[in-house]
Copies of this chain bind each other. A is one copy, B any other.
Amino acid sequence: MTISMYAASVPMLKQMLQSLDAILSKAEAHAQAKKIDPAVLLQARLYPDMFPLVRQVQIASDNAKGIAGRLAGVEIPSFADNEQTFEELHARIAKTLDFLNSIKPEQVDGSEERDVVVYKGSPYEMQFKGQTYLVHFGVPNFMFHVTTAYAILRHNGVELGKDDFIGKF
């Protein structure tokens, strides 16, 4: 037996984006309860040359739609990266989930050997086969940004636990 490329990708991306959405709601509630300007959390970062929370969420969204779109061989929707509020980040995640929900298993299944190009036309262009892209590059990158978003919020005192991170599946 084996697992399908769809089963190895889209449902997990949805799980973690839903977790991230709920984590952001907790952060928002925390800011409100503690009278913290939401922008302080949205612009918080772990080190001056690391991305702030808002950018971590944007990149997690980019990674999720990039993985699903590239494996399915469909155009990846482009979002403007102009979110400045929790509400706008929730909307960004919702749009990303809408795109993931539009992808049918049969579009992703069979993509193991599909040619995937990342950062196309840039000096950082990388070429993969679908399976290598998903397992060794796409998922680690996506998980990096979801985890870093969580870490930024924990570091700023938002009460979160591993259950919030893993979410529901």
Question: Could you list which residues of chain A lie within 8 angstroms of chain B, going by C-beta atoms?
Answer: 1-5, 7-8, 11-12, 15-16, 46-47, 50, 109-110, 112-113, 131-132, 135-137, 139-141, 143-144, 147-148, 150-151, 154-155, 157, 162, 165-166, 169
B residues less than 8 Å from A113 (CB atoms): 1
B147 touches A165 (CB 8 A): no
B2 touches A132 (CB 8 A): no
Main secondary structure of the interface of A (DSSP, over half): helix
B169 touches A112 (CB 8 A): no
B residues less than 8 Å from A112 (CB atoms): 1-3
A137 touches B155 (CB 8 A): no
B3 touches A8 (CB 8 A): yes
A139 touches B143 (CB 8 A): yes
B residues less than 8 Å from A147 (CB atoms): 143-144, 147-148, 151
11 more contacts with CB within 8 A, not counting A2-B2, A11-B135, are A1-B113, A2-B109, A2-B112, A3-B4, A3-B112, A3-B131, A7-B135, A46-B151, A47-B155, A139-B143, A143-B144
